[in-house]
Structures are given as C-alpha cells and as structure tokens.
Amino acid sequence: MVRDKKVYKLHAEIKSENIMLLSILGGAGTYIKEFVHGDLGRTTPNVCQFLGKAVDILQLDVTQVYDSFDNVSKEAGEEWYDVDLS
C-alpha cells in the first residue's frame, strides 16, 4: 500500500565516524524509522540511499509536536535543509 508522507526539513550533526544525530521535521503520520532504514526497500527515498550504506537507529525521540507547520520555530544557529523527496 502506498502512503505518501512528507519530510519537510532535515538537520544532521556528525558525532563520530559511526554516529549521527539526525533531526527530522515530518508531517503527521510519517514513519521515521522506515524513512531512516528503508524498511527492506519498501520506503523510498530513505537515509540509507542518501548515505549509500546501511543505517540503523540507536535511539528515537520525539522532541517537539506542532499543531501546524506554520508554527514551526527553528533554534538559532541550527541549519535546517529543505528536502525534496520526489
């Protein structure tokens, strides 16, 4: 079944050679875990495709919930990248 979801913005912070903190601003119902590892090829695009290697999640936290995309505020100094997943 196809479920179109939207990832609006990404922010990546490299912590070490094998650890990255990835902040994702996604629409309601976006499957974040599947967006990261690709769900055996069922979720495209995904972070594994972007990096060209296998990726898995060590920890997943919801840090903010917004009632509207218009109410999104970004912390000062943080670079967010607009994402076009088409």
- Alpha carbons 77 and 56: distance in angstroms, whole number: 27
User: Which run of H or E residues covers position 14?
Assistant: strand 7-14
> What tens digit of pLDDT does each residue of 18-67 get?
999 999 988 888 899 999 999 988 888 999 999 999 999 999 999 888 77
For domain 1-62, give the fold.
Answer: Alpha-Beta Plaits (3.30.70)
Domain locations along the chain: 1-62
Structure tokens at 67: 């009632």
C-alpha to C-alpha distance for 68 and 18, rounded to whole angstroms: 34
The pTM for the full model equals: 0.75
